[in-house]
């Protein structure tokens, strides 16, 4: 079966950018093991260790499956990892003795860190993850093409809602039909998140009060879910006439994801909820104009809160009793990438960053209104990738 393969020239640009930054920071090399980072720099998601020296060619040592890794990756040096001794030998031979070795310390398990520390002694170990995350935040033309494919599939998913909705459906029944359609359209299924213990199924289909129920998930909405082991997402609750239906859908194609939310309603929503939804759209339009290259993420967050407060809706903005302190987040290979558009989080936007903006208002017992779309940062503002009609859709 033919699959998309990250071109060699794309991988080379990525590892050379990392090498440049490592040289600036005095880091001798990076050992990469986390799945999203590994795919980003090698083009394969197989079980492997990727060593990128500050100078020279990367080396990929694969534990499982070497044959597939060689088919999937266009790296020039790919070999087998027979045991820890192979890894220790590689680092001893290739890593500079007078510079620290970078590891992804934001996600690396402590026990594995201690094993590496003993294995690579006396090398100093340092955290390479801030460099990797900032470099990954700016997307290449190749990555933007993958994101646009995901956006096209997302458009088809949302267009399907009106065609398949039936009176008396449960959240789960509607979610299952939308999810099945997305899968047959090329959705890979898995949603990657970097945050510890953060996990999400790829759609939240939530009606009425379900969309106001928070969960462990670091988002505006949670939902009841089907059981306490995974307390979020669609439930067996029936979608009632006249109540708001929120569909928050993460669409992933070739590893790259877009995040999009739309509001539907089987009937006419209350005027107060329509006004709140219009305020969410006002916030979106303001941030689209001001979210240009060089803008500060914290300033954009304050702008959003100011618009919500001017409308008398600050108490409902980004949650009710339990709020989240952001209005946007980076997306790409992971759902929680940089930049974060958040309170007290100063980050300068750069051209090519990709952000999901999600101004939402939560009304306990009634439902949630708002919008979410995925954008690319440009010099003149935000370029929208997801494009389905932003108005509340009457079913």
Distance CA 245, CA 242 (A): 9
Helix, coil or strand: residue 153: helix
pLDDT tens, residue by residue, 241-250: 999 999 999 9
CA torsion, points 136, 138, 141, 143, in degrees to nearest 10? 40
Residue 3 confidence (pLDDT) = 84
Give the predicted TM-score (pTM) of the model. 0.96
**Is the pLDDT assigned to residue 99 strictly greater than 90?**
yes
pLDDT tens, residue by residue, 46-86: 999 999 999 999 999 999 999 999 999 999 999 999 999 99
pLDDT tens, residue by residue, 226-243: 999 999 999 999 999 999
**Is the pLDDT assigned to residue 264 strictly greater than 80?**
yes
**Is the pLDDT assigned to residue 164 strictly greater than 80?**
yes
Q: Say if residue 112 is exposed, middle or buried (CB neighbours under 10 Å; 0-12, 13-18, 19+).
A: exposed
| Helix H or strand E encompassing 181 | helix 171-184
Count of CB atoms within 10 A of residue 154's CB? 29
Distance CA 238, CA 201 (A): 20
**Is the pLDDT assigned to residue 1 strictly greater than 70?**
no
Task: Report the Cα 156 to chain-centroid distance in Å.
Answer: 20
What's the whole-number mean pLDDT along residues 348-365? 97
Mean pLDDT lowest among 96-100, 277-281, 311-315, 319-323: 319-323
Helix axes 141-164, 171-184, angle to 10 degrees: 140
What's the whole-number mean pLDDT along residues 295-310? 98
pLDDT tens, residue by residue, 110-145: 999 999 999 999 999 999 999 999 999 999 999 999
pLDDT tens, residue by residue, 190-237: 999 999 999 988 999 999 999 999 899 889 999 999 999 999 999 999
Q: How confident is the model at residue 321 (pLDDT cuts 50, 70, 90)?
A: confident
- Residue 147: which of 324, 333, 351, 367 has the closest Cα? 333
In Å, what is the CA distance from 258 to each residue of 188, 202, 293?
13, 11, 20
The phi and psi torsions of 131 (rounded to 5 degrees) equal: -65, -45
Helix, coil or strand: residue 19: helix
Residue entry with tokens 């801030």: 130
The answer to whether the bond into 65 is cis (omega within 30° of 0) is yes
Count of CB atoms within 10 A of residue 165's CB? 18
Name all domains of the chain by residue range, CATH numbers in brackets: 8-136 (3.40.350.10), 138-394 (3.90.230.10)
């Amino acid at each position: 079966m033919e699959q998309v393969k990250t071109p060699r020239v794309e991988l080379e640009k990525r590892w050379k950018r990392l090498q440049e930054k490592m040289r600036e920071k005095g880091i001798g090399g990076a050992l990469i093991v986390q799945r999203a980072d590994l795919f980003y720099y090698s083009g394969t998601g197989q079980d492997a260790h990727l060593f990128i020296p500050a100078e020279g060619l990367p080396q990929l040592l694969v534990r499982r499956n070497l044959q597939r890794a060689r088919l999937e990756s266009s790296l020039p040096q790919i070999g087998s990892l027979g045991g820890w001794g192979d890894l220790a030998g590689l680092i001893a031979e290739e890593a500079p003795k007078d510079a620290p070795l970078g590891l992804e310390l934001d996600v690396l398990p402590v026990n594995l860190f201690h094993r590496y520390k003993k294995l690579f002694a006396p090398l100093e170990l340092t955290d390479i993850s801030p460099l990797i995350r900032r470099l990954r935040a700016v997307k290449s033309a190749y990555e933007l093409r993958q994101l646009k494919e995901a956006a096209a599939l997302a458009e088809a998913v949302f267009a399907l809602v009106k065609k398949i909705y039936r009176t008396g459906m449960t959240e789960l029944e509607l979610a299952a039909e939308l999810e099945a359609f997305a899968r047959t359209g090329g959705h890979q299924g898995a949603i990657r998140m970097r945050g510890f213990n953060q996990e999400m199924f790829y759609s939240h289909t939530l009606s009425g009060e379900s969309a106001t129920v928070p969960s462990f998930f670091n988002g505006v909405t949670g939902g009841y879910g089907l059981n306490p082991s995974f307390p979020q997402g669609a439930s067996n609750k029936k979608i009632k006439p006249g109540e708001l239906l929120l569909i928050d859908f993460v669409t992933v194609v070739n590893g790259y994801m877009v995040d999009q939310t739309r509001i539907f309603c089987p009937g006419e929503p209350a005027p107060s909820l329509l006004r709140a939804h219009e305020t969410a759209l006002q916030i979106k339009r303001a941030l689209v104009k001001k979210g240009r290259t060089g803008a500060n993420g914290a300033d954009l967050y304050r702008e959003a809160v100011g618009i919500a407060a001017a409308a008398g809706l600050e108490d409902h903005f980004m949650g009710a009793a339990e709020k989240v302190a952001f209005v946007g987040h980076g997306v790409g290979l992971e759902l929680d990438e940089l930049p974060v558009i958040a309170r007290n989080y100063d980050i300068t936007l750069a051209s090519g960053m990709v952000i999901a903006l999600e101004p939402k208002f939560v009304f306990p017992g009634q439902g949630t209104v708002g919008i979410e779309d995925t954008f690319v940062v440009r010099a003149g503002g935000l370029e929208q990738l997801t494009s389905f009609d932003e108005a509340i859709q009457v079913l």
